[in-house]
Chains A and B, each alone.
Chain A
Amino acid sequence: MTGRTSLPRPGGNLPPLSLHVPEPKFRPGDKVDYTHLDIPPAGVQPRPDEGCAAAETNPLATDLIRVLDDDHSAVGPWDPRLDPATLRRMLRTMALTRAFDERMYRGQRQGKTSFYMKCTGEEATSVAPAMALADDDMVFPSYRQQGILISRGYPLVEMINQIYSNRADKLKGRQLPIMYSARDHAFFTISGNLATQYPQAVGWAMASAIKGDTRIAASWIGEGSTAEGDFHAALTFATVYNAPVIFNVVNNQWAISSFSGFAGAERATFASRAVGYGVAGLRVDGNDALAVYAATQWAANRARSNGGPTLIEHFTYRAEGHSTSDDPNAYRSAQEREEWPLGDPIMRLKRHLVGLGEWSDERHTAMDLELVNDVKAATKEAEKNGILGHGLHHPFHTMFEDVYEELPWNLEEQADQAIRERRSKWPEWKES
C-alpha cells in the first residue's frame, strides 16, 4: 500500500475546494438587524383559484401571503372575511394556548413534570388551521401544536393529566409530556421521532380517498424536519396519488440550536420545495392568523375537491427555547425575539379587532385574567390525580399492556418480575 490519498492532482492550478458550514447571522450578544428579510406589504399577493394547476402557485412559494397590514387592517384577496365572533374565538383560543403554556412551563420548573414545550409566538400556526379545517379532518401534528387540541375543545384537564403522567392520564403515563393522542378529536398520537407523521398523514388521506370519504388530513413539522427522508417520501406519495392532504411546515427559524440554514433555508424557501413535486405551495406570514386561516382554507377546499395536496410554509419565530431542556441564550441573540419583524400573532389579531371596534384593551385584560384562572382551575383539578413521580400512577401491570393486543408469555413473566421487585423494595406496597 502506498497510501497516496492526499497529494494534489498533478499539474492542477485549480483553487482548493472549500466546505460551507452555515452560520446564523446573530449569536448571543449580537445586535440584530433584520433588514435582509424581504417582507412584502400585506394584501398584494394574488389568490389563485383553489382548483388551479399547482404551478400557478409557484410565485406564492417564494412570496409571503399577508392579510394584516401595518395598521392591523385586513387587506387583499386573502382576507378570509371572518365575522367578529369568529375572530374573537380565534383570539381567545390563541390567548388560552399561551396561558396554558405559561402555567405548564412553571409546573415543570416546580418539579411537577419532567418536560414541557411552549409554542409562544407560533400560536397562529395551529389555532388558525384548526379553525379552518373541519373538526373531523384528521391532524398528524408534531410536538408544538397544542393549539389544535385547545381549538378543538379537548379538555385542559386531560392535557394536564398527560403532562403529569398521573393516574388519570389517558395514555397511562407511557408518553413524554405533551405527546398527546386524542382519537375522538381526530388528533393522531404524537411520535417524538421527527417527520414520521408526514407519510402517515398521506396514508390516512389515501385511505380516505380509497373509501370515498370527504375528510382530509393535515400534518405539521418544523422546518428542521424537512431534512428527514420522510418529508421526501410524503411529498412523493402525495403527488403520485393526488392525496387530499395539507403539509404544514412551521418555519420558526430554529431547530433546538440549529438555525434554518441547516435545513437549506440559505438557498430556498421551504414552500418552494413543493415546486419540484408538482404540489401547490404557499408561503405565509405565520404570525398573521388571518393569512394562516386563509391559506389553510384554500388548501382544504382544494384537497376536498380532489385538487390534491398543498405545502404551506408558516414563516414565524420560536420566541422561547425549544423545550424546558435548553437555554436559547446559549446559542442565539436575545434581541431576535424583540426585533422579529412580523410581530406577535396575538397582539396583531387583538389590534385588528380593536380597530374594527369589536374589542378593547379592557376586554383583553379581563379575558387574560379569566384564562389564567381557567388554566389554574384545570391544573388544580388535574393535580388531584397526582403529579409525576409522586406515586399516583397507573397500575403496574399497565406497563406491559398494549405492547400487543394480547399479553404474550414473556411479558406475563416480566410483569410478575416487576411486581416482585416492587414488593421486595416496599414489602407493604399494594396496587392502589
Chain B
Amino acid sequence: MTMIEEAPVSLADAPTRRLNMIEAINDALDIMLERDPNVVIMGEDVGYFGGVFRATAGLQKKYGKTRVFDTPINECGIIGAAVGMGAYGLRPVPEIQFADYIYPGLDQLVSEAARLRYRSAGEFIAPLTVRSPFGGGIFGGQTHSQSPEALFTHVAGLKTVIPATPHDAKGLLIAAIEDNDPVIFFEPKRIYNGPFNGYYDKPVEPWARHADSVVPEGYYSIPLGKARTVRSGNALTVLVYGTMVHVAEAVLREKGIDAEIIDLRTLVPLDIEAVQKSVEKTGKCLIIHEATRTSGFGAELSALVQERCFYHLEAPIERVTGFDTPYPHSLEWAYFPGPVRIGEAVDRLMKA
C-alpha cells in the first residue's frame, strides 16, 4: 500500500470533531481496524481495560478478542510475535505501555523487524507500528519518562514518528499503520490531554481550545517524512517535535520573536528540504528535544544543518535538550528543557 500524498479532496469539507490526543489515536485505531481486517492490536492491558492511557478503549468490545488483545508482560514476545504476524500477512499495531519498557524488545526491532525486508530481499516485510507513550513531565520518575527516539533513528530500516497535535496524531498513525516498513510511533504523553507549554506552574489549557484539536472525521493520512510549519518567521528556525513544539511556541511568543517553528513530525524519514529551506531563510537554527543531549537526535540535526546550510548560518547552531542524567523524580522540572533554558538559547542566537 502506498502512502496517500494528499488528503482526500473531501477532507476540507469533512465534518470535524474536537479531540484530545488520546481520542484522536483511538479514532485512528478504530478506523484502521474497520478498514483493514489484517490490522490487530496487542499489548499489555490494551484489551478489555482499553490501555493504561485509554488509547484502545472500547476497541476490543467493538472488534473482538482476536483483533484487540492483552499480552503477557514480555516486550520481546510482543514485538517478536508481531514480526511473525507481519510475516503471515497481518498488520500488527503492538503497544509498548511505556517507551521506557521497550528495551526487552530492542533485538526484535533492531535485528529483526528493521532488517527483514533487506535480508530477505523483499520476501518478508515487517509492517508493524509500535505505539508507545514517551517523554516526561508527569512525575513518572526514571522509568516512565524517557525519550529514547535516537536509539531508533540510528537503526537503518526503522521509521520514527512523533506527533504533536491530535490532528497529526490521527493522520500520522493511519499513515504509519498503512506503511509497509516498521514504524516506531512515540506518543508524547505529557500532551495527551492538553498542549502543555512548559510553564509547569500554570494550568495546562485543554486541547479543546487549540486549533489543531479540530480533527476531521473518518479516514485521512498525513505522509511520513513531511514536516509541518507551525508558524512562519524570519528571525530564526526552530527544529522541534513532540511536546517541545508547544513549549517552543509559547517561549517564542512570549519573547515576541519572529521565529519559524518546524514540527518535524517524522525523524526518519526526515523532511530535509523543509529544514534546509527554513535555515537558509533565517540563518539561525535552534534545535530542541527533551531527550538527553549526548548523541541525541539534535546532534544529527545539527550536523545536517552544518553540512547543508553552513554558508547561510549567522550564528552557531543551538541545541536545547534534557540533561545527560536519568529522568529524576522530584527534580523533574530541573531536567526538563523548559522556558528558561530555551530562552537563554534564543537570547544567544538573537544577540549573534
Residues of A within 8 A of B (CB): 138, 140, 170-172, 174-175, 179, 181-183, 188-189, 191, 193, 196, 198-211, 217, 229-230, 232-234, 236-237, 240, 402-405, 408-410
Question: A402 touching B117 by the CB < 8 A rule?
Answer: yes
A230 to B79, CA, bound (A): 11
* Shortest Cβ distance from A184 into B: residue: B123
Known: A189-B116, A217-B84, A404-B159. A210 touches B77 (CB 8 A): no
- The answer to whether A183 and B118 have CB atoms under 8 Å apart is no
Contact (A171, B119) CB under 8 Å given A203-B83, A404-B181: yes
Asked, given contacts A200-B84, A207-B88, whether A193 binds B111 with beta carbons under 8 Å apart, the answer is: yes
Bound-complex Cα distance A206 to B77 (A)? 12
Question: Of A138, A189, A209, A240, which is within 8 A of B119 by CB?
Answer: A189
User: What residues of chain A lie closer than 8 Å to B252, measured between beta carbons?
Assistant: none
Q: Can you name the residue of chain A whose Cβ is closest to the Cβ of B118?
A: A402
* Distance A410 CA – B74 CA, assembled complex (angstroms): 34
Chain B 105-145 interface residues, beta-carbon cutoff 8 Å to A: 107-108, 111-112, 116-125
Provide the bound-state CA to CA distance between A209 and B88, in Å.
11
For B112, list chain A residues within 8 Å (CB).
191, 193, 196, 200
Q: Are A199 and B87 in contact (CB under 8 A)?
A: no
Q: B residues within 8 Å of A by Cβ?
A: 40, 66-67, 71-72, 74, 76-77, 79-90, 92, 104, 107-108, 111-112, 116-125, 156-157, 159, 179-181, 225, 268-270, 272
Residues of A with C-beta under 8 A to B268? 408
State whether A200 and B80 are in contact (beta carbons under 8 Å apart), knowing that A207-B90, A404-B181, A405-B181 are contacts in the complex.
Answer: yes
With A183-B124, A189-B124, A208-B88: A196-B111 Cβ-Cβ less than 8 Å: yes
- Chain B neighbourhood of A237, CB < 8 A: 71-72, 74, 77, 81
Known A-B contacts A174-B119, A409-B269; the reply to A191 vs B111 at CB < 8 A is yes
A191 to B157, alpha carbons, bound, how many Å? Answer: 15
Given the interface pairs A206-B85, A408-B269, the reply to whether A199 lies near B108 with Cβ below 8 Å is yes
- Chain A residues whose C-beta falls within 8 Å of the C-beta of B269 in the assembled complex: 404, 408-410
- Would you give 16 A-B contacts (Cβ < 8 Å), ordered by A? A171-B120, A193-B112, A196-B107, A196-B112, A199-B108, A200-B83, A200-B84, A202-B77, A202-B80, A207-B40, A207-B84, A210-B40, A229-B104, A230-B76, A232-B74, A403-B157
Across-interface contacts of A234 in B (CB, < 8 A): 77, 80
By beta carbon, the residue of chain A nearest B110 is: A193
- B80 engages A196 (CB within 8 Å): yes
Partner of A236, one of B77, B86, B87: B77
Of A174, A207, A409, most B-chain CB atoms within 10 Å: A207
> Of B40, B76, B88, which contacts A199 at CB under 8 A?
B76
Measured between beta carbons, the chain A residues less than 8 angstroms from B81 are 199-200, 202-203, 206, 237
Q: Give the docked Cα–Cα distance between A340 and B120 (Å).
A: 37
Please, which residues of chain B bring their CB within 8 A of the CB of A206?
81, 84-85
| Interface pair B84/A199, CB less than 8 Å apart | yes
Question: B108–A409 contact, CB under 8 A?
Answer: no
Residues of A within 8 A of B40 (CB): 207, 210
Known A181-B120, A183-B123; contact A403-B87, beta-carbon cutoff 8 A:
no
**Which residues of chain A come closer than 8 Å to B87, judged between CB atoms?**
138, 188, 200, 203-204
Q: Which residues of B contact A410 (CB under 8 A)?
A: 269-270, 272
User: Which of B74, B84, B116 counts the most A-chain CB atoms under 10 A from its CB?
Assistant: B84
Docked complex Cα distance between A179 and B123 (Å): 13
Q: A202-B84, A403-B157 are in contact. Are A233 and B77 (CB under 8 A)?
A: yes
> How far apart sit A237 and B92, CA to CA, in the bound complex (Å)?
16
Residues from chain A with a CB closer than 8 A to the CB of B92 are 203
Nearest-neighbor residue (CB-CB) of B1 within chain A: A405
Are B124 and A203 in contact, CB atoms less than 8 angstroms apart?
A: no
Q: Which 10 A-B pairs have the closest CB atoms?
A: A203-B84, A199-B80, A203-B81, A233-B77, A207-B88, A200-B84, A189-B120, A204-B84, A181-B120, A183-B123
B156: nearest chain-A partner, CB-CB: A403
B90 CB to closest chain A CB (Å) equals 5
Query: B121 near A170 (CB under 8 angstroms)?
Result: yes
- A140–B84 Cα gap in the complex (Å)? 9
